[in-house]
Amino acid sequence: MQHKKNSCDMVAGVEVKKAATSRRTFLKSGLAVAAGSVAAGFPMISVAAPKVIKMQTSWPSSDIWMDFARQYTDRVERMSGGRLKVDLLPAGAVVKAFQVMDAVSDGVLDAAHTVPVYWYGKHKAASLFGTGPVFGGSATTMLAWFNAGGGKDLYRELTQDIMGLNVYGFLGFPMPAQPFGWFKTPITKASEVKGFKYRTVGLAADLMQKMGMSVAQLPGGEIVPAMERGVIDAFEFNNPSSDLRFGSPDVAKHYFLSSYHQASESFEFLFNKDFYDDLDDDMKAILEYGVESASTANTAIALDNYSKDLIEIQKKGVTVHRTSQEILDAELKAWDEIIPDLEKDPYMKKVLDSQRAWVDRVVFYELMNSPDYTLAYNHYFPGKLKL
């Protein structure tokens, strides 16, 4: 006679129900016992608090460049798994926009997001790392010079050896060439700019003075108020998005794109040397190579926003012009007059020689290799581009 299968067995005359023990149940109970043993025999290991980086920008809180800076800080925090946290502050939160280099060097700030030209007053060579003569190279060309053509070593020589600053600096985001700027009346001839009170910064100030303007060097957030008060009567900043947010269309109705005064600028990411040296090697790498990551991200949102905001500027009754060939030629001639004076300084001559050699070789390849994009654009969008 067959016995019926069931989930009970008789042990010493007592009916015992079998436990259906799964692998998951076993692992869970095993881990619980192990955890209990560890808790009973060893102290708990605490997770270190994140390293906080106090970083100030040179931009007002409303400027699109704060969004660019956040792309960097977000990437740093995510790549570090939360071990790095950046306290990102706008211009003026701790020091003024032009004072961030000193603040980082002195340890008042751990880091800054700025541009080299903002410490041009400390040494004119600062402008060679963003707003100097272009020789025909774009911002992408010159950022490549910084990273692969000797520029990084020359920057370190200037900041640490010549000036004794306690900083490290990295450059990122090759900016589109900056507009000639905002004027109340249309201008087509170089002679028409003489006498203007004009806002720009760095060696571009020397350039515009050569062209007959008087120049005020102001941070971005002070430009439109200065225009309203009559301190200046023409200006440039950098891009359509910043200009739109600053309220530039309210104070001038003629916007000139294309210029050689600042055609190859990049952001500067500054770190206090002592703070940086104290970090673990992987954190240093995250801060350095995070610049390259943000550079790509910044380029994407720049092209998206700058192009859309240029349309919004036109909707506000602003006429957008391309700077005349005569004015562009006058800018190059003004650079020709400035360069010999700059080269009286041996260090600046060394930098300019390095840049010229790089551009001579690299831009020859770039121009020979590049197809005529204007021809292609006109083919697909005929009649739209008026040069």
The SS3 assignment for 66 reads helix
How big is the chain by its Cα radius of gyration, in Å?
30
- Tokens 């946290």 sit at which residue? 85
Asked if 65 and 121 count as a contact pair (C-beta separation under 8 A), the reply is no
Return the pLDDT at 221: 84
User: Quick one: which of 284, 286, 271, 292 has its CA closest to 80?
Assistant: 286
Return the pLDDT at 41: 55
> Count of alpha carbons within 13 Å of 77, Cβ hemisphere only?
13
Return the pLDDT at 24: 42
The reported pTM is: 0.85
CATH topology of domain 51-174+264-304: D-Maltodextrin-Binding Protein; domain 2 (3.40.190)
Write out the DSSP string of 248-285.
GGGT-SEEEE--SSS-S-EEEEEEEHHHHHTS-HHHHH
Per-position b or e across 29-48, b if 16+ CB within 10 A of its CB: eeeeeeeeeeeeeeeeeeee
| Average pLDDT per block of 10 residues along the chain, 387 residues long | 44 42 44 46 66 97 96 98 97 97 98 96 94 93 97 98 98 96 95 93 93 90 92 93 94 96 96 98 98 98 98 97 96 97 97 98 97 96 86
- Tokens 């121009």 sit at which residue? 367
Count of residues in the chain: 387
